[in-house]
């Protein structure tokens, strides 16, 4: 079986083992019902995700966890194939680690909390990887243009994966810098290809967005400051640099406490630095200081590339891992370096056998595959073995984080469903109730979500009541309990809030928290944000 087939199969198998519970259970967050029942295509287009509605034309605006999950695993498997081809990964254990990290990292878990759109996001991921692959592997202008086109398609589904394309290109340039076969002129040309392809991709995407907005009569949403893109100024850019490094550290050093996740990530960065020093000294790169300086610059650029949208708008906030897939790729830099060193040793071995047959036994011993049970092999290759073991532990921990997250999300869904059942029962017991009446909900029963301890914050993956808005409660009731309630408009809610009957109501779960006023079913959950419905003093 070829390496491409192997890494694809590994991705599918590990993906099922990691996400099977999510794929076989219906678990939704507030965004799910808001999107499927009230937000619609116009909101997605206003976010610039102009190709995302095309996915729904095929499967409909319904969350189908198993089908969408299978599609995602297949697409990630294809991305893994292009990744191993680009970096020429050969060792079987390395293929396992690549598949594991790409399909099980916390970003995938976070995106699977929004399963209704996960397939579109993963298509974006595939095209972001393909953009880098075509630009770097297909020679001539064709590679630049095809790479740019793939990048434009990726941005059309989900803009956040722009950083994935840039990270992969940076890794490739980093690899060229420590490989003597490439001179600085060739490295510079490759960097120019990457830049030109990226500019073409962004330009094509920007033109496409403007055309779609013009036809659909939409415009940039205010969400995360999208409508103020490019207005950060010098002070904003400097603050963005700081935010990039803070957010970068936040992903790996969660809550600044000592735990398994933090320790393994710190060890990963230490081993990455040590491996880089081994490369520099072993290949005598210190004789070429320009290369060493540029490699150091690549390291320093990683946080800014991973959070590149901090430079687009001051409103961008990385409050969850859904935008941060490029951070998961940082784990693979360590693996890429060791893979290249092993290939280099293997090439030297072949040369030694041809030139000095008597030394062939020693050469074979240097380049042999991993031998887990051989103590002498561990002593000789302890750094590479330690790196592999660490990455395997990190990969397994990703699987643990995913399943703990889904456990919490299932708990949250259970709590919400029980709460909604209580609401409907009380409403049905109210005189004058009918099943398709409008409902006015004031306040909320929101509880602070309990995210998975010692793991990146993943929005949507919670273990408490997560509903905050009146439309969320109504949408969830209609979704979970097959009701058909309407939502009272703002003017009606203001009129109800001004009545004496409303003033006598008490917060949930009081018996006076449910009442029909002016033909509308009223649920008074708390006094949160109720002031906006009351008459304002001039």
Do the beta carbons of residue 195 and residue 201 sit within 8 Å?
Answer: no
Residues 6+ apart with CB under 8 A from 486: 436, 437, 438, 439, 474
> What b/e string do you get for 215-229 counting C-beta neighbours within 10 Å, with b at 16 or more?
eeebebbeebbbeeb
Residues 6+ apart with CB under 8 A from 58: none
* Whole-angstrom Cα Rg for the chain: 27
Residues 6+ apart with CB under 8 A from 533: 442, 490, 493, 494, 496, 497
Bond prior to 418 in cis (omega within 30° of 0): no
Backbone angles phi, psi at 439, to 5 degrees: -120, 135
For residue 461, what pLDDT is reported? 83
- pLDDT one digit per residue (tens) for the chain, 538 residues: 899 999 999 999 999 999 999 999 988 887 777 666 655 666 788 888 899 888 888 877 778 899 999 999 999 999 999 999 999 998 999 999 999 999 999 999 999 999 988 999 999 999 999 999 999 999 899 999 999 999 999 999 999 999 999 999 999 999 999 998 889 999 999 999 999 999 999 999 999 999 998 888 877 777 776 767 767 778 888 888 999 999 999 999 987 788 999 999 999 999 999 999 998 988 888 888 999 999 999 999 999 999 998 888 777 777 778 889 999 999 999 999 998 887 665 444 444 444 454 444 433 333 445 565 666 666 677 888 899 999 999 999 999 999 999 999 999 999 999 999 999 999 999 999 998 899 999 999 998 888 888 888 887 788 899 888 898 899 889 888 889 999 999 999 999 999 999 999 999 999 999 999 999 999 999 998 888 898 766 5
Separation of alpha carbons 187 and 432, rounded Å: 76
Tokens of 288: 């070429």
Measure Cα distances from 119 to 56, 104, 366, 412 in Å.
10, 15, 44, 23
For residue 170, what pLDDT is reported? 97
DSSP assignment string, 387-445: HHHHHHHHHHHHHHHHHHHHHHHHHHHHHHHHHHHHHHHHHHTSTT--TT-EEEEES--
Assign 385 to helix, strand or coil.
helix
Tokens of 110: 């976070």
Do the beta carbons of residue 499 and residue 518 sit within 8 Å?
Answer: yes
């Amino acid at each position: 079986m070829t390496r491409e087939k192997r890494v694809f199969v590994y991705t599918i198998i590990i993906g099922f083992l990691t996400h099977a519970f999510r794929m076989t259970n219906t678990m939704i967050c507030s965004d799910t019902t808001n999107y499927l029942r009230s937000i619609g295509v116009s909101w997605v287009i206003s976010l610039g995700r102009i190709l995302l509605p095309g996915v729904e034309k095929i499967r409909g605006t319904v969350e189908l966890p198993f089908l969408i999950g299978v599609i995602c695993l297949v697409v990630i498997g294809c991305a893994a194939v292009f990744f191993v081809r680009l970096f020429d990964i050969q060792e079987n254990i390395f293929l396992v680690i690549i598949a594991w990290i790409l399909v099980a990292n916390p970003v995938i878990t976070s995106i699977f909390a929004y399963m209704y759109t996960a397939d579109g996001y993963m298509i974006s991921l595939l095209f972001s990887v393909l953009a880098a692959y075509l630009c770097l592997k297909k020679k001539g202008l064709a590679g630049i243009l095809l790479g740019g086109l793939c990048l434009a398609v990726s941005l059309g589904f989900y803009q956040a994966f722009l950083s994935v394309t840039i990270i992969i290109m940076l890794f490739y340039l980093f690899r060229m810098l420590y490989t003597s076969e490439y001179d600085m002129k060739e490295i510079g040309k490759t960097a120019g290809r990457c830049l030109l392809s990226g500019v073409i991709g962004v330009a094509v995407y920007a033109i496409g967005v403007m055309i779609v907005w013009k036809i659909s009569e939409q415009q940039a949403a205010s969400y995360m400051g999208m409508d103020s893109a490019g207005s950060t100024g010098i002070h904003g850019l400097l603050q963005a640099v700081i935010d990039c490094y803070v957010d970068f550290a936040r992903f790996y050093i969660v809550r600044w406490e000592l735990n398994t996740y933090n320790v393994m990530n710190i060890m990963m960065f230490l081993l990455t630095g040590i491996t880089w020093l081994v490369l520099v000294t072993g290949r005598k790169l210190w004789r070429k200081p320009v290369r060493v300086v540029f490699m150091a610059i690549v390291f320093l650029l990683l946080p800014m590339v991973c959070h590149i949208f901090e430079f687009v708008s001051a409103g961008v906030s990385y409050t969850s891992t859904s935008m941060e897939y490029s951070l998961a790729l940082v784990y693979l830099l360590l693996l890429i370096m060791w893979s290249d060193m092993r290939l280099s040793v293997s090439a030297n071995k072949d040369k030694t056998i041809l030139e000095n047959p008597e030394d062939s036994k020693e050469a074979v011993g240097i380049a042999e595959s991993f031998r887990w049970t051989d103590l002498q092999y561990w002593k000789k290759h302890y750094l590479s073995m330690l790196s592999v073991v660490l990455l395997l532990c990190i990969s397994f921990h990703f699987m643990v984080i995913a399943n703990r997250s889904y456990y919490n999300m299932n708990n949250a869904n259970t709590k919400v469903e029980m709460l909604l059942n209580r609401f409907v029962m009380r409403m049905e017991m109210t005189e004058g109730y009918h099943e398709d009446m409008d409902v006015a909900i004031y306040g909320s029963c929101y509880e602070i979500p309990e995210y998975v301890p010692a793991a990146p914050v993943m929005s949507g993956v919670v273990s408490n009541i997560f509903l905050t808005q009146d439309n969320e409660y109504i949408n969830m009731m209609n979704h979970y309990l097959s009701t058909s309630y309407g939502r009272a408009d703002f003017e009606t809610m203001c009129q109800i809030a001004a009545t004496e009957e409303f003033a006598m109501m008490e917060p949930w779960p009081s018996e006076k928290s449910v009442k029909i006023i002016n033909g509308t079913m009223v649920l008074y959950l708390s006094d949160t944000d109720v002031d906006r419905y009351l008459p304002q003093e001039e």
